[in-house]
């Protein structure tokens, strides 16, 4: 063999395909300050818009005086609800089937609600104008406590819904009620509880928090009056959905709306929905004839543009005395704030909360979610989460620990005893899902071995004894978490957004010289799609990843896709990419057969091209096939080499993992130290292990933040008291623990490449691991459940309430 | 509002312009000097996305006025590559160690790390973590940022760095 002929290994490596720790192509521009984020977009004559916001959480708007603002140099217009009514945009539909005020229409319902939009020549002048708008308010009684929302004498928040006894998701039973969502078999569940040896009941709250990506929400809208076309650059996780929403509500033909999501500085669910800023900037551009930029500041982001969680879950488990679970009952009070602006698939008012049976074989379960209105910001976005899966995982993982405590069992043993067994997959859960695959016992045992679980429990027992003897003031907690996610929304049979099925898409076009472009309906916000999508194509069709350009985010060029959130990109768009690549490969095989003068069936795939079976020297590389596609295709075949795939997944995917946190807490100060955090993830086939690890580090850090302090908190008057990075916990490199990662691989049986999605797993599994560690630390002092977030002060309070402080 | 004429050296080139007394340095750099690599994440000095290097110090440019920077010598992310256009040790380290995801904090993080390594050419992990604690990253969990800075330190110091990105 010629020395210059590359070996199979060299050919394989040259592709940088799946499984390779390919360095990211995005980083070349990002490390040089050459990213193109929305605030970097600058157009000739561009104006800036800024909001007048309500200081009140609930008040009637008596009058808005704009005269003085309009005298401010540079201020060109002040838009109010009255202006918006002329174009029928004072209110907008939410993704959850509710309506939301774009600008205050008669009243305000949460602090920092948008009241007026000042448009000026630059951002400073816009701010000056905001300061000069005078709004007369008449304060109204404020509703903050979700548990008082449905009291008979609770204030009426949504006067626009007066007399409406049903909403988008069925009957409403109170003026502050949004929906009731019930699932499972109530009678069978009640019967299981009636005959259970052991039951537990606990109200487990998952507090309100916020995704808070480092880049806030922003847009630039430019309306061309001559062409009647609107172009929007925006921080959009789902640009095509934004285009369709704009077409539906602004009555501009969809082909005349161009939505461009350029580089995005993190999303974490914050950038899925449509916000008043987008509508106001678009209307301002139509009114002024100039491009208008709107850039949210951090306080606005934390207080007005969506929130996450705020689920109050009364959870009951039934079990035998040996520790076999026999039933699960959950009632959730879901605080949706002033408008139901959840970004869930349309038919799922509580998202996929019915994954709450977790990794365990519950014969029966029943779950009811009541959504309610309060005087808080609207939203309910999935913060690094697939639609309420984080809430569900926290609920069941905390409840399993509480049950273990009551039974006197080790929490790991209780889990092992109740896991869905490998041979039960595909597994039909009591609340209606079909888990595609899993190997929970292997993952759990691998984790327990890796951390020397038995050794840790022994050490803890010794520490507890020492504490009781007064020899230490530190308590040690071991937090076990085993989660099952449901991601990859989703199959058209059960998932849509505003009627659009939640497929995703890819178009691949190969050029004559063996390079190409892939356009995809997903939209990276840091996940590295430009790198990983090319890796899938490289493995599928043997063109080096470096020769594939990946493009997302431009609705004029990308095929229609539902965007990136809910860990759906790899399960759905990733599948579309593989399927489009396979269409190309099928055509390539016909071309190769023609050129090699053999029958197609006589060819076999070999890394980067086809070879004739039994004649390994008779080959045609994909590079050569690309050239042939443009000059000598078989008679009757169209030239060119491109394909489009729209992929409607047959099922969700079900990533899982086993996490463990070891924490020490000083009871006298409440100061905690995370001594160790181990995360084993199974996301099926691994496309780029480097990026997977990066996703896990990031998700664990967000989980750490949420569990240990990150909260959007309101006082009794509805003032946000954690509205900036001063008070909203944002861990730095100093607080953030060291992460140990590990994995098993259980491919998804229905996904073309077996991948399941990973971005959200660490947040889903991380929060219960931290919270269980804190709760486990205090358990031997007589505590059953301490609510999150577990900051120093709350830890100290817990110690105090347990009587262990001097 | 009356404007003041300001001049500063940015990445080796003279930049001049008119700034209101209240104009933040970060806005001057982004909108007048057209250097949009420096980002804004919080405007309360917490996140560090706007970190630049001024006269040998790390400064959060959202908390300094353009007029205060008159006459100063500034380095931003656009001035961090090697003279031949190749990635500097820090830029390369961030890429090799997967020390960035969305890229929004990266310019500030690299500028902060640049000054840190000038002050302490061989920092321990704890010193790196403390040294970048004025810069928030929402994506990476910092672990690979620490490695990126260790990679750069080793490269600058001419020693081998073998740690792989996790």
The 10s digit of each residue's pLDDT in A71-120 is: 999 999 999 999 999 999 999 999 999 999 999 999 999 999 999 999 99
Give the structural domain span for A700.
307-489+652-801
User: pLDDT category, A659, cuts 50, 70, 90?
Assistant: very high
Which residue's structure tokens are 């951002």?
A: A123
B87 interaction partners in chain A (CB closer than 8 Å): 28, 31-32
Q: A194 lies in a domain?
A: no
pLDDT for position A616? 87
Q: Cis bond leading into A426, ω under 30°?
A: yes
Find the residue in B nearest to A27 (Cα).
Answer: B95
A676 interaction partners in chain B (CB closer than 8 Å): none
Q: Residues with Cβ < 8 Å from A615, sequence gap 6 or more?
A: none
The 10s digit of each residue's pLDDT in A399-444 is: 999 999 999 999 999 999 999 999 999 999 999 999 999 999 999 9
Rounded Cα–Cα distance for residues A180 and A55 (Å): 31
Quick one: CA torsion of A617, A621, A624, A629, rounded to 10 degrees?
A: 120
CB–CB contact B94 A27 (8 Å): yes
- Of A647, A679, A701, the residue at which a domain comes to its end is A647
pLDDT for position A1? 47
A384 is catalytic: yes
Distances (CA, A) of B3 to A161, A384, A802, B94: 51, 45, 62, 39
Are A628 and A674 part of one and the same domain? no
Helix (H) or strand (E) holding A756: none
Rounded Cα–Cα distance for residues A717 and A139 (Å): 10
For residues A26-47, average pLDDT: 98
CB–CB contact B81 A32 (8 Å): yes
| Contact between residue A619 and residue A610 where contact means Cβ atoms under 8 Å apart | yes
- Residue B138 contacts A where some CB pair is shorter than 8 Å: yes
Q: What is the mean pLDDT of chain B?
A: 96
Q: Residues with Cβ < 8 Å from B39, sequence gap 6 or more?
A: A37, A39, A214, A215, A265, B49, B50, B104, B105, B107, B108
CB–CB contact A697 B166 (8 Å): yes
The 10s digit of each residue's pLDDT in A307-334 is: 999 999 999 999 999 999 999 999 999 9
Look at residue A191 and tell me whether its pLDDT is greater than 70: yes
| Contact between residue A658 and residue A680 where contact means Cβ atoms under 8 Å apart | yes
Q: What is the mean pLDDT of chain A?
A: 97
Are A449 and A595 part of one and the same domain? no
Catalytic residue among A217, A367, A385, A661: A385
A237 is catalytic: yes
For residues A22-30, average pLDDT: 98
CB–CB contact A213 B136 (8 Å): no
Q: A196 lies in a domain?
A: no
Q: A737 lies in a domain?
A: yes
For residues A444-468, average pLDDT: 98
Quick one: CA torsion of A504, A506, A507, A509, rounded to 10 degrees?
A: 180
Catalytic residue among A22, A384, A519, A686: A384
CA A348 to chain centre: 15
Rounded Cα–Cα distance for residues B90 and B88 (Å): 5
pLDDT for position A612? 98
A254 is catalytic: no
| Contact between residue A541 and residue A620 where contact means Cβ atoms under 8 Å apart | no
Look at residue B161 and tell me whether its pLDDT is greater than 70: yes
Name B57's bridge partners: B54
User: pLDDT category, A378, cuts 50, 70, 90?
Assistant: very high
Rounded Cα–Cα distance for residues A383 and A140 (Å): 31
Distances (CA, A) of A19 to A686, A688, A746: 6, 5, 15
Helices A761-779 + A792-801 axis angle, to 10:
30
Helices B106-119 + B89-96 axis angle, to 10:
120
CB–CB contact A701 B104 (8 Å): no
Q: Cis bond leading into A559, ω under 30°?
A: no
| Contact between residue A571 and residue A495 where contact means Cβ atoms under 8 Å apart | no
Look at residue A806 and tell me whether its pLDDT is greater than 80: no
Are A551 and A422 part of one and the same domain? no
A266 interaction partners in chain B (CB closer than 8 Å): 101-102, 104, 138-139
Of residues A745 and A494, more confidently modeled? A745
pLDDT for position A737? 98
Rounded Cα–Cα distance for residues B104 and B47 (Å): 11
What is the share, in percent, of chain B residues with pLDDT greater than 90?
Answer: 94
Which CATH number fits the domain that encloses residue A59?
A: 3.90.1170.50
A732 interaction partners in chain B (CB closer than 8 Å): 129, 132-136, 142
As a whole number of Å, the CA-based R_g of chain B is 16
Start-end of H helices in A275-388:
276-288, 298-303
Considering CB atoms only, which of B44, B110, B140 is closest to A726? B44
Q: A234 lies in a domain?
A: yes
A221 is catalytic: no
Closest CA relative to residue A337, chosen from A210, A429, A445, A455? A210
- Per-residue buried b or exposed e for A228-248, using 16+ beta carbons within 10 Å of the residue's own CB: eebbbbbbbbbbbbbbbbbbe
Closest CA relative to residue A179, chosen from A335, A310, A329, A309? A335
3-state secondary structure of A442: helix
- Of A597, A621, A647, the residue at which a domain comes to its end is A647
For residues A365-384, average pLDDT: 96
Are A417 and A546 part of one and the same domain? no
Are A725 and A762 part of one and the same domain? yes
Find the residue in B nearest to A689 (Cα).
Answer: B166
Which CATH number fits the domain that encloses residue A511?
A: 3.30.365.10
Are A368 and A454 part of one and the same domain? yes
User: pLDDT category, A3, cuts 50, 70, 90?
Assistant: low
Considering CB atoms only, which of A30, A726, A733 is closest to B100? A30
Considering CB atoms only, which of B20, B40, B101 is closest to A124? B20
Distances (CA, A) of A291 to A50, A71, A92, A218, A223: 14, 21, 22, 13, 7
Are A398 and A275 part of one and the same domain? no
B102 interaction partners in chain A (CB closer than 8 Å): 213-215, 263-266, 525-526
Rounded Cα–Cα distance for residues B155 and B166 (Å): 19
Considering CB atoms only, which of B27, B42, B129 is closest to A298? B42
- Residue B16 contacts A where some CB pair is shorter than 8 Å: no
CB–CB contact A525 B31 (8 Å): no
Distances (CA, A) of A38 to A258, A270, B104: 15, 15, 11
Of residues A497 and A300, more confidently modeled? A300
Work out the minimum CA distance from A29 to partner chain B, whole angstroms: 9
Task: Determine how many CB atoms are found less than 10 A away from the CB of residue B7.
Answer: 12
Q: A184 lies in a domain?
A: no
Q: A667 lies in a domain?
A: yes
Work out the minimum CA distance from B70 to partner chain A, whole angstroms: 20
Q: Residues with Cβ < 8 Å from A591, sequence gap 6 or more?
A: A625, A628, A629, A633, A634, A637, A641
Are A365 and A260 part of one and the same domain? no
CA angle A255, A260, A261 (to 5 degrees): 145
Rounded Cα–Cα distance for residues A805 and A668 (Å): 6
Considering CB atoms only, which of B80, B101, B133 is closest to A734? B133
Q: A509 lies in a domain?
A: yes
The 10s digit of each residue's pLDDT in B42-93 is: 989 999 999 999 999 999 999 999 999 999 999 999 999 999 999 999 999 9
Q: A131 lies in a domain?
A: yes
Closest CA relative to residue A206, chosen from A350, A411, A406? A350
Rounded Cα–Cα distance for residues B154 and A109 (Å): 55
- Residue B155 contacts A where some CB pair is shorter than 8 Å: no
Q: Cis bond leading into B35, ω under 30°?
A: no
Residues composing chain B: 166
Q: Which of residues 78-107 of B touch A (CB under 8 A)?
A: 78, 80-81, 87, 91-92, 94-96, 98, 100-107
The 10s digit of each residue's pLDDT in A467-476 is: 999 999 999 9
As a whole number of Å, the CA-based R_g of chain A is 28
CA atoms within 13 A on the CB side of A407: 28
User: pLDDT category, A2, cuts 50, 70, 90?
Assistant: low
Are A464 and A526 part of one and the same domain? no
Look at residue B165 and tell me whether its pLDDT is greater than 80: no
Catalytic residue among A100, A111, A113, A237: A237
Are A638 and A668 part of one and the same domain? no
Q: Residues with Cβ < 8 Å from A303, sequence gap 6 or more?
A: A111, A112, A377, A712, A720, A723
B133 interaction partners in chain A (CB closer than 8 Å): 732-734
CB–CB contact B132 A733 (8 Å): yes
Task: Determine how many CB atoms are found less than 10 A away from the CB of residue A737.
Answer: 22
Are A773 and A668 part of one and the same domain? yes
Helices B106-119 + B143-157 axis angle, to 10:
50
Rounded Cα–Cα distance for residues B106 and B90 (Å): 11
Are A558 and A656 part of one and the same domain? no
Look at residue B163 and tell me whether its pLDDT is greater than 80: no
CB–CB contact A298 B44 (8 Å): yes
- Of A627, A647, A667, the residue at which a domain comes to its end is A647
Domain count, chain A: 3
């Amino acid at each position: 063999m010629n020395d210059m002929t590359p070996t199979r290994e060299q050919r394989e490596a040259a592709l940088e395909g799946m499984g390779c720790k390919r360095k990211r192509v995005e980083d070349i521009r990002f490390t040089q300050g050459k990213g193109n984020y929305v605030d970097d977009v600058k157009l000739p004559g561009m104006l800036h818009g800024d909001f007048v916001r309500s200081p009140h959480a609930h008040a009637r708007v008596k009058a808005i005086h704009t005269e003085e603002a309009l005298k401010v140099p540079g201020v060109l217009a002040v838009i109010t609800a009255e202006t918006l009514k002329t174009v029928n945009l004072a209110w907008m539909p939410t993704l959850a089937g509710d309506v939301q005020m774009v600008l205050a229409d008669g009243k305000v319902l949460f602090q920092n609600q948008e009241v007026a939009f000042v448009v000026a020549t630059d951002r400073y002048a816009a701010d000056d104008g905001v300061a000069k708008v005078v709004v007369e308010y008449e304060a109204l009684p404020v509703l903050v406590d979700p548990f008082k929302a449905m009291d008979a004498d609770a204030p009426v928040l949504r006067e626009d819904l007066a007399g409406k006894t049903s909403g988008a998701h069925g009957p409403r039973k109170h003026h502050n009620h949004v929906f009731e969502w019930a699932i499972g078999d109530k009678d069978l569940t009640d019967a299981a509880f009636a005959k259970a040896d052991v039951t537990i009941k606990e109200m487990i709250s998952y507090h309100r928090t916020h995704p808070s990506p480092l880049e806030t929400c922003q847009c630039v809208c430019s309306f061309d009056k001559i062409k009647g076309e609107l172009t929007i650059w925006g921080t959009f996780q789902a640009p095509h959905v934004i285009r369709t929403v704009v077409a539906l509500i602004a009555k501009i033909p969809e082909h005349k709306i161009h939505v461009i999501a350029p580089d995005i500085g993190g999303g974490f669910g914050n950038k899925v929905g449509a916000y008043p800023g987008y509508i106001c900037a678009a209307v301002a551009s139509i009114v002024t004839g100039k491009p208008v930029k709107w850039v949210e500041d951090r306080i606005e982001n934390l207080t007005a543009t969506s929130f996450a969680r705020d689920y109050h879950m009364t959870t009951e488990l039934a079990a035998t005395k040996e520790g076999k679970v026999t039933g699960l009952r959950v009632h959730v009070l879901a605080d949706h704030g002033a408008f139901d602006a959840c970004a869930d698939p349309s038919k799922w008012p509580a998202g996929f909360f019915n994954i709450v049976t977790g990794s365990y074989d519950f014969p029966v379960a029943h779950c009811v979610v009541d959504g309610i209105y309060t005087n808080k910001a609207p939203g309910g976005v999935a913060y690094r989460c697939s639609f309420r899966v984080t809430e569900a995982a926290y609920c069941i993982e905390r409840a399993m620990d509480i049950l273990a405590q009551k039974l006197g069992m080790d929490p790991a043993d209780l889990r092992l005893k109740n896991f869905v067994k490998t041979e039960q997959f595909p597994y039909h859960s009591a609340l209606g899902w079909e888990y595609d695959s899993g190997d929970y016992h292997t993952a759990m045992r691998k984790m327990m071995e890796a951390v020397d679980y038995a050794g840790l429990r022994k050490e803890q027992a010794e520490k507890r004894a020492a504490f009781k003897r007064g020899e230490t003031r530190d308590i040690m907690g071991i937090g076990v978490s085993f989660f099952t996610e449901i991601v990859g929304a989703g199959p058209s049979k059960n998932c849509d957004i505003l009627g659009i099925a939640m497929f995703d898409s890819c178009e691949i076009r190969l050029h004559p010289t063996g390079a190409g472009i892939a356009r995809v309906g997903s939209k990276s916000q840091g996940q590295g799609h430009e790198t990983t999508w090319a890796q899938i194509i490289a493995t599928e069709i043997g063109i080096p990843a470096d020769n594939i350009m990946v493009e997302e985010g431009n609705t004029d060029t990308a095929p229609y896709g539902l965007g990136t959130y809910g860990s759906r990109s790899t399960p759905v768009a990733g599948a579309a990419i593989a399927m489009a690549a396979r269409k190309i490969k099928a055509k390539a095989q016909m071309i190769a057969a023609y050129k090699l003068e053999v029958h197609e069936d006589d060819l076999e795939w070999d890394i980067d091209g086809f070879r004739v079976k039994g004649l390994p020297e008779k080959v045609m590389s994909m590079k050569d096939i690309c050239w042939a596609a443009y000059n000598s295709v078989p008679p009757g075949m169209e030239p060119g080499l491109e394909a489009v795939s729209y992929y409607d997944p047959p099922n969700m995917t079900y990533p899982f993992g086993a996490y463990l946190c070891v924490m020490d807490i000083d009871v006298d100060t409440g100061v905690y130290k995370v001594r160790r955090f181990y995360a084993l993830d199974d996301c099926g086939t691994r496309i780029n292990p480097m990026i997977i690890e990066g996703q896990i580090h990031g998700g664990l850090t967000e989980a750490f933040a949420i569990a240990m302090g990150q909260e959007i908190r309101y006082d009794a008057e509805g003032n946000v008291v954690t509205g900036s990075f001063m008070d909203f916990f944002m861990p730095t490199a100093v607080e953030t623990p060291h992460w140990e990662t590990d994995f098993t691989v259980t491919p998804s049986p229905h996904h073309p490449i077996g991948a399941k999605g990973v971005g959200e797993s660490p947040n889903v599994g991380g929060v219960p691991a931290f919270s269980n560690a804190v709760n486990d630390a205090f358990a031997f002092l007589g505590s059953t459940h301490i609510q999150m977030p577990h900051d120093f002060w709350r830890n100290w309070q817990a110690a105090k309430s347990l009587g262990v402080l001097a | 509002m009356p404007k003041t004429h300001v001049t500063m050296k940015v990445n080796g080139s003279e930049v001049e312009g008119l700034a209101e007394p209240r104009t933040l340095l970060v806005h001057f750099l982004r909108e007048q000097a057209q250097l949009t690599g420096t980002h804004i994440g919080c405007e309360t000095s917490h996140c560090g996305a706007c970190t630049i290097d001024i006269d040998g110090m790390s400064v959060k440019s959202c908390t300094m006025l353009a007029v205060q920077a008159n006459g100063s010598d500034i380095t931003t992310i656009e001035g961090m590559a090697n003279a031949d256009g190749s990635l500097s040790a820090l830029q390369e380290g961030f890429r090799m160690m997967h020390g960035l995801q969305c890229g929004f904090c990266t310019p500030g993080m690299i500028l902060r790390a640049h000054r840190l390594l000038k002050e302490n050419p061989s920092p321990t992990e704890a010193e790196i973590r403390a040294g970048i604690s004025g810069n928030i990253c929402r994506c990476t969990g910092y672990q690979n940022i620490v490695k990126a800075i260790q990679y750069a330190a080793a490269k600058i110091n001419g020693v081998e760095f073998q740690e792989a990105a996790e």
